[in-house]
Structures are given as C-alpha cells and as structure tokens.
Amino acid sequence: MDTFAHGDSAWFTHDRFGMFIHWGLYALPARGEWLRHFDEKPEDAYLTYFDHFNPDMFDPKEWAKSARMAGMKYVVITAKHHDGFCLWDSKHTDFKVTKTKFGRDVLREIIDAFRSEGLRIGIYYSLIDWHHEDFIIDRHVGPYRNGDLDKLNQGRDMKRYAQYMRDQVIELLTEFGKVDILWFDFSYPKTDGSGKGKDDWEAEKLVELIRSLQPGVLLDNRLDLPEASDIKTPEQYTPDNPLVDENGNVSLWEGCQTFSGSWGYNRDEGNWKTPQMCIEMLVNHVSRGGNLLMNVGPTARGFLDDRTQAGLTAYADWMKFNARAVYGCGMAPKEFCEPKDCRYTWNPETKCLYLHLFTYPFKHIHLPDLAGKINYAQLLADGSEITIRSSENEVHTNLNSGTPDNAITLELPVKLPSHCTVVPVIELFLK
Ligand code: GLC
C-alpha cells in the first residue's frame, strides 16, 4: 500500500488524520491570516499586533488533548506564516514570539504537548515573508504589492533571504527532535518571471540540507521542485479520484481543510461546516487514498473557541466508534463498486471493507458485485450483526427489495442507535 516517498511514509498512510494549526499575530485582528495582504497594512500598523500579542489562556496541552480525542495522529503547526512572525526563539530574527511581552517559546511548548499526547510533529514554514528586509517584493503577494517596486526593493537580496530560510530550517530540524513533516508554503512561478519559485528559494540546496539533517521527514509539494516532494496538498477541496503521479501510481496526498474558510482565527466568519460535512470530508479523503489535515485557528488569547471545539467534538464522537474504518485504511480495490451515496474504505491487512452511508437508506441496501464474498457484517458503532441476503438465499419476495444478480443485500435497522446517526459505518469481513 505504501507509495514511493523520499521520507518515511508508512505511518502517514496508516494514520490518515492530522490537525493543522494556524496561529500567530493575525489572531489579534481576527480576520484570517491574509489580512495584512488584503488591507495592504504597512509595517508599523502590523507591529501593533506584535506589541499586543499576549495569549494569557494559551494551554497547548488542551489543544493536544482535543486533537487526540478527535482521532488526529499528527499536527502541523505554523512555525512562521507569510507575515514572517516566528513562533520559536530563532537566533536569526527579533520578529519572534520570545520578543513579545508573552515571551514564551510557544512552538516548543506546542511540540512538547502534542508529543506527550502521542502525536507526530509537522512544521509549516512559509516561503513567503512580508516582514524580512531581504525578501523581494513582487506584485502578487504582500502588503506592498501595489507600491513602487523598484524603490521598495532597493538593497533587498533574495540570496540572503534564501540563506535565512536555510538557517531557520537548521534550527527547526535540530532543536525540536524528530520532525515528521516539513510543510513549505508556497511557490507561485509566473511565465513572465514576476512570481517566485524554486530558484528564488534555492530549493535544491534547501532540500539537500533537509535530507542531510532529517532524511525521514516528508516534504510537501509547494517548493516548486516536484521531484523532491513527497506529499501532494490539495487545499479547500476534495479530489474525486486518488491523486496519481506521471506514471499513474497513487501518490501520497493530504487535503488541507478548514472548518469555516479562514485558516487563522476569524471571529466573524459564519459558514461553519456541520458535523455531517466534517465526517463526510474525512471519509472522502480516506476513501480516495488520502489524508485529511483539518485546520484550527486558536484565538489571540490562546484557546480554541467553542465553534472549533464543536467541530473537534464531532470528529471525536465519530472516531470513538469508527476509527477502525480510518486507520490503516485507504481506497478499496476497484472491483468493489460503491453504492449510491456511499463510500468504501478498505483495510488490506484485515481484509475488512467499510461501507460509509452518507444518506441513510433505511431498511436495506444492495451492494453490487459482492455476492459470495462477505463472511459477516456488523454495524461498526455497536458491533451488532447486520444480516446478509443474496439472490441465492432470498426466501421471501418483497417487491422492492429483490437482490440484483451478483449483489448482496444488507438488512439494516430502520432506526439507528442514537450515537451513530452521522455517517453510520458497516464493517464487512471479506472471505
Ligand atoms: C495557502 C495560504 C495560507 C494557508 C495555506 C494552507 O497557501 O496562503 O494562508 O496557510 O494555504 O494550505
């Protein structure tokens, strides 16, 4: 089942579910992490948030516990986002958390807390930097994109910035123990040369350095160096089909998703996904051979707000009973054709096929092509037997429920136990 990767990937395809954390100065204006770009906010104005950063309710142990309860097995945390603010005590900048009045190395505390809860560690590092004095300003991203670029870029030097990134990556890969994922964000090469890509980041040199420090780390695909990347990262959408490489082999992929649209805390955003949508999203990813990296944006005071908690609880409630249909599972073999409004996940080791019912069909459901292939079936949430009928052993004629050739019919309870009404799962033991 393991797909090629430069780093260690067996854990990644087993664990399937992680937490993304976007946290930084942008939690204060509370309009998402791109606000400095949208507002074209100059340096001085943005530094107000640096002066006021003081998350007195910061308790990473609580975050880590919520993640573990939700069934998440790894975390990816924004060590530095596009605003350039660093969540650790980097020697190479003063624009860092330990220089705010809060003064604590929050990255270290977060990593320690998540490790204690048994989660693996991923670090997000922004290639884009709206603060660094050497980052060449372009017309695509950042607060000064509409300014006089020639003037603004006098004295700036991308080579020095690339060196700064390497220096910081050395810190991140040598001072925080084993890092399982390094998540760079993002390249935007343009045909007219006005964007940024691998040459600007000196990506090859960077990757060489990374591999020499932590050969097992998995790299995302946003460095503009496809041959070095391990994980494809669709964002805010779920691919209909597994993602494949140029030879048609299934790639490692991880969809990153939000509860409400923004990554950084957004106080006024209204469209939060329902529990049903959240669970369907997870199942959609796993059933197409991918992982889900579900984002949270902690508040400026350092806690996960009640809407975020509710989303995580939806996962916790479902994963408590259905984790077996996620861990170690992936796409089902092609011969198993999914019935309408259903998804399959498949555990190749236990030979269990999991039927996820997105729309509950009530009394029964026909499963095409499975005649003679299933030993036993049960409702995963309580282990209660689900009776199997096939055309050969059909005893009574109910006009609406005749089992099609080659199919089996599962007799379902018309009323589900109250703890499993959101995406119930049937566990099918194959012969
Ligand atoms: C985008 C955004 C960014 C977010 C990321 C997550 O590239 O720039 O704000 O961190 O996606 O995938």
- Average pLDDT per block of 10 residues along the chain, 431 residues long: 78 98 98 98 98 98 98 98 98 98 98 98 98 98 98 98 98 98 98 97 98 98 96 94 87 97 97 97 98 98 98 98 98 94 98 98 92 96 93 53 86 95 98 94
Q: Which of 186, 221, 293 to mutate to test the pocket of ligand 1 (most atoms within 8 A of CB)?
A: 186
235 lines ligand 1 (CB under 6 A): yes
Domains of the chain: 10-325 (3.20.20.80), 342-430 (2.60.40.1180)
Q: Looking at residue 247, what is its pLDDT?
A: 84
Q: Looking at residue 385, what is its pLDDT?
A: 98
What strands, in cross-sheet order, belong to the sheet with 291-296?
Answer: 218-219, 181-185, 120-126, 74-80, 17-21, 291-296, 252-257, 231-232
Q: Which of 185, 187, 188 to mutate to test the pocket of ligand 1 (most atoms within 8 A of CB)?
A: 185
Q: Looking at residue 15, what is its pLDDT?
A: 98
| Residues above pLDDT 70, as percent of the chain | 97
For residue 236, how far is its CA from the centre of ligand 1 (angstroms)? 10
CA atoms within 13 A on the CB side of 384: 10
427 lines ligand 1 (CB under 6 A): no
263 lines ligand 1 (CB under 6 A): yes
pLDDT digits (tens, 9 = 90+) for 134-183: 999 999 999 999 999 999 999 999 999 999 999 999 999 999 999 999 99
Place of tokens 């810190």: 171
Q: How far apart are CA 161 and CA 154, in angstroms?
A: 14
What strands, in cross-sheet order, belong to the sheet with 364-367?
Answer: 364-367, 408-411, 387-390
Place of tokens 């924004």: 78
Q: Looking at residue 391, what is its pLDDT?
A: 63
Q: How far apart are CA 350 and CA 348, in angstroms?
A: 6
Q: Looking at residue 230, what is its pLDDT?
A: 96
For residue 243, how far is its CA from the centre of ligand 1 (angstroms)? 20
